[in-house]
Amino acid sequence: MLDVLTGFAIIFVVIGVGFVLAHRGVIGKGEARLQFNRTAFWAATPALIFSSVAKSDTSAFVSPVVAVIAAASIATMALYWLCSQLFFSRSGAETMAGAAAASYYNSVNIGLPIATYVIGDATYAIPALVLQMAVLSPFIIAGLNAQGTSMQSIWRSVVSGVTAPVVLAAVAGFIVSAAKWQVPEVIMKPLEILGGASIPMILMSFGASLKGDALLEEDRLPTITATVLKLVGMPAIALAVGAALGLDGAELYAALILAALPTAQNVYNYAATYEVGETVARDTVFLTTFLSLPAMLAIAALFG
């Protein structure tokens, strides 16, 4: 459990560094801050994804736990869309940002230690990461990039989603892993170094974005909805789907813990990169990062 708390602490420290640098004027507003997100989106994060997935074991990708997470993610996104239509109508792109915040969880810098030290097995973490990057990310990015309802606009959005760097990196990494190819060190090492910059850049930009903007100052209802769905709705859906599939014991516990993970910083990075739904994404990431630990402790207590 100490390693899990350490994972959370590391995130808050790096966010704090970004906030302090913004306060001192080292990280500027607007375009200056967004350069962090764009660099992470186009270079550092794809390098991180490829280097992680390429070294993973593809035999773990076919699992009822991964199926439960996939179903829970899609159902939670759909539920957020329904709430948006009924209670706080937003544009399609803004709604996609909120739907992603409600369902897209942190599978790397929190997910890996959680899987290792709470579940006791990191087997499901990388398959869940590939699910998010290769399957969910194209839809999210296409939705964030949607500019209209014409066929040309829709086609442009679809292409942008399918060809996004993180998606291509996940697919390429999966192919390398499945084929059991060995990537030469002269290629893999630079990718690992570049990938190491991804999380710090996103977190520092996140911290810088907090300067001058009070939490829940804008888009309060969409943010609260996304937060509740992420921490309560998605685990509840995972429980229902898992029970329907006959999961019990360790597998059901793993599915619920993964479903209760906080919103990924990548959701904020996507929103900031496409400059839409940034407030909902940022505030949901912040709230769920604080509140997910009690939620996971409650699940752990439920399973004894």
How many domains are there within the chain? Answer: 1
Residue by residue, DSSP assigns 45-95 as: HHHHHHHHHTTS-GGGGS-HHHHHHHHHHHHHHHHHHHHHHHHS---HHHH
pLDDT for the residue numbered 127: 83
Tokens matching residue 201: 């850049």
3-class SS at 299?
helix
CA distance 46 to 68: 26
* pLDDT value at residue 147: 65
Contact between 35 and 204 under an 8 Å Cβ cutoff? The reply is: no
Where residue 120 sits, what CATH number does that domain have?
1.20.1530.20
Cβ–Cβ contacts within 10 Å for residue 288, how many? 27
d(CA 276, CA 133): 19
The pTM of the full predicted model, rounded to 2 decimals, is 0.85
Nearest in space to 176 (alpha carbons), one of 52, 285, 90, 9: 52
Tens of pLDDT along the chain (304 residues) come to 566 677 678 888 988 999 999 999 999 888 888 899 899 999 998 998 899 889 887 777 778 988 999 999 999 999 999 999 999 988 889 999 999 999 999 876 667 667 666 666 666 777 888 888 888 999 999 999 876 656 676 677 778 888 889 889 989 999 999 999 999 999 999 999 999 998 889 889 988 988 877 778 888 999 999 999 999 999 999 999 999 999 888 889 889 999 999 999 889 999 999 989 999 999 999 999 889 888 888 888 888 6
Nearest CA-CA partner of 80 in 60, 48, 102, 104: 102
pLDDT at 267: 94
Range of the domain at 129: 2-302
> For residues 11 and 287, what is the distance between their CA atoms, to the nearest angstrom?
13
For residue 97, the model assigns a pLDDT of 96
The alpha carbon torsion through 122, 61, 163, 82 (nearest 10 deg) reads: -90
